[in-house]
Amino acid sequence: MAQLRIAPYKDLLSHFRFLLTLRSQEGHYRSLILFRLSTSSEVESCADNEDENRDTETTNAAYSQLYIMESACPHLGADMSHADIEECETGVVAVCPWHRYDFDLQTGKSDTGLSACTFAVEVRTEDTVDTVYMETPKEGTGWRIVEMRPVSEAFADPPPPVASDLSADLSSTVSQENEPVVPEENAPTTLMEWAVLILNTPHPRLKVERTKHAVHLFRTGQLKSIGNKSPSAPTPPDVPSRDDAYLRNTVDPSKVKNRRNRASMLHALANIEQWAIDLAWDIMARFGPMNKELPPAFFADFTKMALDESKHFSLLTSRLSALSPSTPYGSMPVHAGLWESATVTSQSLISRLAIIHLVHEARGLDVNPATIEKFRKAGDKETVGVMEIIHADEVTHVTAGHRWFTWAVAREAEKGNIEGDVDPVKRFREEVRKGWTGDIKGPFNVEAREMAGLTPQFYEGLRGELGYPAEEGVTSATGGGTDLDGLEKGVAAVRLEYEK
């Protein structure tokens, strides 16, 4: 059986659980969870693997407590990253947070008759470094790890209160900010209801808190259901709500000047992240009811994405507050250009995944390194650290976009409902020509794009034709009429949201 290198054992000592995303040479994905159950004393023994006097028996005991299993419960697809771990007579089991089904971490077997996929783990010593390997899935070849992240989410502290001379201007947001995270009346009971509530939440800090709470409820099995198959699933808004202070400072995308100073750059980046939170919830709320066959893993990926974007927003606004207390988030000009593409792609999941996640987010992979370098040259180590976190997370977001884009294209072919090419590369290029304006320009971060599944065949020499005369009948995303010039500017301007 082929073996796949994961990481040096010492790199796993920071957390007890890690999410692993694998991709094969054929483009298949597997989402796994790695459990490390070793005790504190065993960890101390393994920490110094060059110590000739270390306790071999204790070290081996620690290594024997590494387990890898599929991240989705085979019953109804619950996320197993927050499963309870319990010991029983036959071994150690992971207990699903939704319906309490238990699965042996060694064999994957359950008393219910179901079985989860598990993968053998071994530790090899390579040049005095103890390194963890796993057996690869049986289907597919050339497996590689494209994501490895600990199961934990760190949020920045909320920014301090704004200065008194700005309080009056932002006072209209206070009452909404002070609303409870869980509404006192008609509290959501499904993931779809939470998604629509969050989309309709104007205040960004409350949006973040509700995102954190909703994702926790979903992961720990405290929601009635996902809710996308219900005939009464709520309808998401055409455009997410924004508070009065934000609306007063909203300008046309083409009128937003290049951000030169650090405060304005942080403000612009936070604006992107606020829209990104909404985009993650919108793809679930809008396309979940349209595509009832979407598996729970889809919602697991995009709730994780919503949580990531909330984390990014919190980190950026905290840095903005520390760097420039007199210009809190919402006090500088912003634009809603990113939502133009959300509107253009509102009728097709394949189009949404292509344009938002494989064009917009992939563009972030290209320009983030230059943005990080600007903060590094300014001596702003704290913001460099924040941007490095964001960049690493965004690679996984493009990976998720690629995974579900290829899934959706294959699913369409299986159903015989073929409206475009069934080859993912050709279909992507087709969607970009229909839903994007102008060239997909470099320079490209080829390494990060390839890690996420985007080979150069996807994007090289690609030009979108949205808004050009050949595309008749396309209406403005801002509502009504045939203002193609305005739409073209709005969509094209999104590429300027991350600094080049």
Q: Is the pLDDT of residue 325 over 50?
A: yes
Report d(CA 423, CA 427) in Å as an integer: 6
pLDDT at 91: 87
* Domain-wise residue ranges, the chain: 3-150, 191-496
Q: Which residue is listed with tokens 């066959």?
A: 293
265, 179, 281: which is closest to 227 by C-alpha?
281
CB count, 10 Å around CB of 156? 18
pLDDT value for 303: 97
The pLDDT score that the predictor gives to residue 253 is 59
* Burial category of 314 from C-beta neighbours within 10 Å (exposed 0-12, middle 13-18, buried 19 and up): buried
Q: What is the arithmetic mean of pLDDT over 55-83? A: 86
Task: Give the model's confidence band at 254: pLDDT under 50 very low, under 70 low, under 90 confident, else very high.
Answer: low
Are the C-beta atoms of 314 and 158 separated by less than 8 Å?
yes
Q: Considering Cα of 325, then 327, then 330, then 335, what sign does the dihedral take?
A: negative
What is the distance between the alpha carbons of residues 447 and 217, in angstroms, rounded to a whole number?
36
C-alpha span between 493 and 339 (Å, rounded): 11
User: How many CB atoms sit inside 10 A of residue 213's CB?
Assistant: 16
β-bridge mates for residue 341, sequence order:
none
Q: How sure is the predictor about 439, in pLDDT bands with cuts at 50, 70 and 90? A: very high
Instruction: Name the least confident of 17-26, 91-100, 151-160, 489-498.
Output: 489-498
Residues 6+ apart with CB under 8 A from 389: 311, 312, 315
The angle subtended at Cα 391 by Cα 275 and Cα 209, nearest 5°, is 45
The Cα 343–Cα 239 span in angstroms is 8
- Cβ neighbours of 164 (radius 10 Å): 7
Closest by Cα among 400, 398, 338 to 365: 398
Classify the C-alpha dihedral 354-356-358-359 as positive or negative: positive
Tell me which DSSP letter residue 167 carries.
H
User: pLDDT band at residue 39, thresholds of 50, 70 and 90?
Assistant: low
| pLDDT over threshold 60, residue 302 | yes
Residue type, 424: P
Among 2.102.10.10, 3.40.50.170, 3.90.180.10, 3.30.230.10, name the CATH number for the domain at 3-150: 2.102.10.10
**How large is the greatest C-alpha to C-alpha distance in the chain, in angstroms?**
78
CA-closest candidate to residue 423, choices 441, 408, 409: 409
**CB neighbours of 94 closer than 8 A, spacing ≥ 6?**
35, 69, 80, 83, 84, 85, 102, 103, 105, 116
CB 132 within 8 A of CB 6: yes
pTM: 0.83
Give the chain's mean pLDDT.
85
Highest mean pLDDT among 98-112, 167-181, 256-270, 403-417: 98-112
Cα 342 versus chain centre, distance: 16
Share of the chain above pLDDT 90, in %: 67
Listed in order, strand segments (DSSP E) in 137-178 are 144-150
DSSP 83-136: -EEEEETTEEEEE-TTT--EEETTT-B-TTS-B--EE-EEEEEETTEEEEEEEP
Name the pLDDT band for 343 (thresholds 50, 70, 90): very high
Please tell me the distance from the alpha carbon of residue 309 to that of residue 271, in angstroms, as a whole number: 11
Helices (H), 353-451: 361-377, 381-414, 424-435, 446-451
Hey, what amino acid is at 73?
Answer: C
- Asked which of 90-104, 158-172, 268-282 is least confident by mean pLDDT, the reply is 158-172
Least confident of 178-187, 245-254, 337-346: 245-254
Q: Give the per-residue pLDDT at 257.
A: 54
Q: Is the pLDDT of residue 311 over 60?
A: yes
pLDDT in tens, 136-183: 999 999 999 999 999 875 666 666 554 444 444 444 444 556 789 999
Contacts of 475 (CB under 8 A, 6+ apart): 481, 482, 483, 487
The pLDDT confidence band at residue 285, using thresholds 50, 70 and 90, is: very high
Rounded CA separation 453/421 (Å): 18
CA–centroid distance for 135 within its chain: 27
The span from the CA of 379 to the CA of 214, in Å, is 37
